Structure 1
């Protein structure tokens, strides 16, 4: 056989081997573009495949909002000295007569110590009767008692003091500098001030979330919203529970990227470009920039908008396609918001699989030639 014939035969063998190897499946990081597109409802699967454009971005980039209910935002500031059930008060009463109702003869005043506010918020004062104390300041209680006694003795003078009890308090726990129970005092009557009194947040402010529970009502905001939106700095109430946590959202990066991992969010919002950069960017040796995919389960409300339909019910599997090589493709990826539990997948370039097949085929042929030579 001539040299040319041998070369042609070898070339044909390489092509045949490459074809066979490519069809039998070489090692790779995941599905290719064709296999992903095959998962469309238009073909073999049950997912909707959408190429990201400005309209898709406007709809898909909506993120669940955090915020407080109106009942929390609209609550007024409470006094720092509000009396609560269980507090113990002390009263001093002066009367402008020699033979007073409460003041012993010859004494300038009478002192009533250790008057406990009962569970319903009331105290009892002789000749004044049952007085509502809880929810009032000592000054307001003084006015009420004075008015009641003035009906029976001329120009009474009353002093009210809190002897024991914490008054209005809140509990602060979670990722703060100092967990504990804190009184609502004049400087700490709002959420931001109370967190400062507790030592501030102990995690990065960009990913800190603050939850306030008041009775059966609760709400969560981003810590930064306290400063960006004044309405979020709500007035506190006795018994409020304040809990600070670190953002628990994550996304998963797979395929031809610098790293494959489950990644926590590092800010309130992260774009597709930022997500790729977080894991080291696209692999320059492997990645296909025309095949960046985001896998997500979208609620029916958003899916119906994306697909211009109104018949979808329940969560829908959506595959978003980002082609970074298209005009404005980088801008589309920059504006596409990644959400909690998203999977960002970058396909390998077709040339990578071809190279693998050629390398495997030529390696196999070389091994075959070596074996043949050994038996000649």
Structure 2
């Protein structure tokens, strides 16, 4: 091959090198100019104003608990099958055995599966579906023909008829009883304990009456949280999802590209970059820091690409306030000189092949 032709070819390729240098890179035009068959995306500059809007949306989402959950008020406890009642008839030891634990157990009455219980001189009465005060009055009236001015007290000794169930990333999953003391969501989660190494705190599902409600328990630490207003009822099911899908992908010109798993709702762009070793000082373009947030339905919805100019030190203040979401992709593009260097490396490799082929021919 003619050496002049080879030189001319290499020169021509070199002049175009910046345009098609190898390696991934992104520009604002890549976002705003989209082909019809590509996912749609909008470019948003990370500025103090856009951060304020993001934080306002996050605060609104944290407050936006389903009204049906907030409106639920715990009613007076209703006795059910399986509950054990302690019945005391004052001043009548033949009906109430005072003293030891064994004697105390003798005063208990378990509500049977058919909802009834038996008491001397009264017979079998229905207790299921009634409150403690209603059962007390029923026993008093049943004893009235035998005892004048009888005084009766009824308490639930063991609560077995109503419960909630917890599963997933709890330290102690399983049932918890509903008692005469209202059980709040916060209390139930606290009793079960959260496995912080595995739990997705933003992924608690409460299933009630056939409906699923997604609750962010990490928002409990935020100002004006309303989680403490949610109370549970019989049959509620709580499932705390794993953080296995709570991942951030950090790619491009960082020292340690990686996948970051997190269990809370708050992971900032600065933390993600810091966990990845920061921008590569030799190859990264500080003006090419992007957060790619895909839409759930690419065909109908528009994805968002956030752009941060990290060449200014103050940009890291913005990065420290920018909250990432699960499945976000953080991409740091290469500097022009890096793409040029990679292009030259490949070009020289191609040139050596050409020269070897020419020498072989000669």
TM-score, structure 2 normalization: 0.70
Q: Determine whether 1:285 maps to 2:278.
A: no
Residues 288 and 77 of structure 1: CA distance in aligned 2, closer, same or farther (over 3 Å): same
Candidates 151, 156, 178, aligned match of 2:150: 156
For the 8 Å contact 2:21–2:340, the answer to whether it is kept is no
Q: Distance in 2 between matches of 1:348 and 1:83?
A: 69
Q: 1:183 aligns with which of 148, 173, 177?
A: 177
In structure 1, the gaps of 5 or more residues are: 1-5, 97-106, 301-312
Tell me which of 320, 326, 331 is aligned to 1:340.
326
Which residue matches 2:47? 53
Q: Cα 1:112–1:38, aligned 2, differ >3 Å: closer, same or farther?
A: closer
* Alpha carbons 2:159, 2:179 under 8 Å: kept: no
- Output the aligned Cα RMSD: 4.7
Structure 2 distance, partners of 1:365, 1:130, is 99
Query: Are the equivalent residues in 1 in contact too, given 2:196–2:263 (CA < 8 A)?
Result: no
Q: Distance in 2 between matches of 1:327 and 1:163?
A: 65
Contact 1:273 1:333 (C-alpha < 8 Å) held by counterparts: yes
Match of 1:27 among 15, 22, 31: 22
Check conservation: 2:250, 2:330, Cα contact below 8 A: yes
Q: Take 1:204 and 1:54, find their aligned partners in 2: how far apart are those partners?
A: 33
Unaligned runs of 5+ in 2: 97-105
Matched, 1:203 2:200: no
Tell me what 1:358 maps to: 344
How many residue pairs get aligned? The number is: 341
**Residue aligning to 2:307:** 321
Correspondence for 2:139: 145
Q: What CA distance in whole angstroms lies between the structure 2 residues aligned with 1:150 and 1:181?
A: 40
State how far apart, in whole Å, the 2-side matches of 1:214 and 1:45 are. 37
Maintained 8 Å contact 2:116/2:125: yes
Which residue of the other structure, out of 111, 131, 136, is the alignment partner of 2:131? 136
- Alignment CA distance shift 1:20-1:290 (3 Å): closer
What whole-Å deviation, never above 9, does each CA across 1:254-285 have from its counterpart, x for those lacking one? Answer: 22223444432353222222222233322222
Q: Give 3-state SS (helix, strand or coil) of 2:278's partner.
A: coil
C-alpha distance in 2 between matches for 1:315 and 1:146 = 67
Change (3 A) 1:12 1:170: same
Post-superposition offset of 1:288: 0.8
2:264 aligns with one of 237, 262, 267: 267
Q: Distance in 2 between matches of 1:226 and 1:299?
A: 27
Matched, 1:18 2:14: yes
Alignment partners' CA distance in 2, 1:76 and 1:259: 51
Q: Distance in 1 between matches of 2:212 and 2:234?
A: 14
**Partners of 2:122 and 2:139 within 8 A in 1:** no
* Residue number in structure 2 paired with 1:3: none
Classify the secondary structure of the residue corresponding to 1:270.
coil
Q: 1:118 to 1:68 in 2, by over 3 A?
A: farther
Length-normalised TM-score, structure 1 = 0.68
**Deviation of 1:349 (Å):** 0.8
Counterpart for residue 213 of structure 2: 219
Distance change (3 Å), C-alpha of 1:89 and 1:334: closer
Structure 1 residues 91, 59: closer, same or farther in 2, change over 3 A? closer
> How far apart are residue 249 of structure 1 and its match?
2.6
Matched position secondary structure for 2:188: helix
Contact 1:67 1:220 in 2 (8 A): no
The Cα shift of 1:369 comes to 6.4
Taking a change above 3 Å as real, the CA distance of residues 226 and 323 of structure 1, as seen in their structure-2 partners, is closer
Residues 167/363 of structure 1: CA separation in 2 closer, same or farther (3 Å cut)? closer
Larger radius of gyration: 1
Match among 253, 256, 261 for residue 253 of structure 2? 256
